[in-house]
Amino acid sequence: MLARSPEHRSPGPLTRALSRFLINRAAVAGVCIATPMLLVILSYPLWWAFQPNDIDLLAMNSGPTATHWFGTDGVGRDVFARVLEGGRISLLVAVTSTALSTAIGFLLGAISALGGRWTDAVSMRFVDLVMTLPPVIFLLVLASIAGTGIWPTVLVISLLSWPLLARMIRSRLLELRERDFVMAARGMGAGIRHLLMRHGLPNSIDILVVYATLQIANAILLEAGLSFLGLGIAPPAASWGNMLNAARSTAVLEQYPWQWLFPGAALILAVLAINFIGDGLRDAFDPRAELN
């Protein structure tokens, strides 16, 4: 029997997912927005003359100029540098908190599905308890306990964000554990660690990727909201949230709009771009798309 030639082999699932992602115009637009933003945010100290906390006493509340592209704030700090530094801090908080919440959600959901009846019952009741707590009140209480700063904010967001992922992972792996290869592994004495790493994680990659992408956008909004309320990143560190908080007075809103317009626009663009990418990944990994 002749082997099939390479040109007649059907593409793998990742290739098909990538093809579906690339024909999604909103997802591609999200990539086109997010990529240059990320490059500028990460590289600005190499080519921009001002640091976020440099003070120019001769240019306080100055509008956009050739020297200060986004103008300056009430103490003469460069708004462009602070917007980009705020993007760095927002990305650090969002990516780190998303990694932590993803690890917590995956481990709890997988252990619940693969650990037996009692483990499933106890862990899911704990998840139900966390999900019944009012999210806004829970967030504010955690933030007031943990304090301000980058790492307390990371901790607060990560502790708030994992329950939904845990339930999705549990649902996926409850189906997986009934398959023959998992039952065979159990029969041969495979432990929970082997089942998690060998079967649970590879079969949950699509859920984890989509969740992590969308959660980064959610974490950016949560960090901005906490910082706006004075419970996240504290001044003089730059954050999109605390920049908007500093510009909330009527005088600034009316007379110096660049002090809130640029950080607000950066926040909106970043969240929209990441949401577009997340929606595109969700559609690309949707198994029902194979039928279309």
Tell me the longest C-alpha to C-alpha distance in the chain: 83
pTM of the predicted protein model: 0.85
The domain spans of the chain are: 74-287
The continuous run of DSSP H or E covering 210 comes out as helix 205-228
Query: So what's the pLDDT on residue 191?
Result: 67
* Exposure string over 202-240, b if 16+ CB within 10 A, otherwise e: ebbebbbbbbbbbbbbbbbbbbbbbbbeebbbbeebbbb
Q: Are 79 and 139 in contact (CB under 8 A)?
A: no
Per-residue pLDDT of the chain (292 residues; tens, 9 = 90+): 445 555 556 666 678 878 888 888 999 999 999 999 999 999 999 999 888 888 888 888 888 998 889 999 888 899 999 999 999 999 999 999 999 999 999 999 888 888 778 888 888 888 888 888 777 777 778 878 877 788 888 888 888 889 889 999 988 888 877 777 667 766 776 667 777 777 778 888 888 988 999 899 999 998 888 888 888 888 888 889 888 888 888 888 888 888 899 999 999 999 999 999 988 888 888 755 554 5
Query: So what's the pLDDT on residue 1?
Result: 44
Query: So what's the pLDDT on residue 289?
Result: 52
Query: So what's the pLDDT on residue 291?
Result: 46
Q: How far apart are CA 236 and CA 179, in angstroms?
A: 55
Query: So what's the pLDDT on residue 232?
Result: 84
Chain centroid, CA 98 distance in Å = 5
**Counting Cβ atoms within 10 Å, is residue 161 exposed (0-12), middle (13-18) or buried (19+)?**
buried
Domain spanning 74-287, CATH architecture: Orthogonal Bundle (1.10)
Q: Tell me whether the omega of the peptide bond preceding residue 36 falls within 30 degrees of 0, making it cis.
A: no
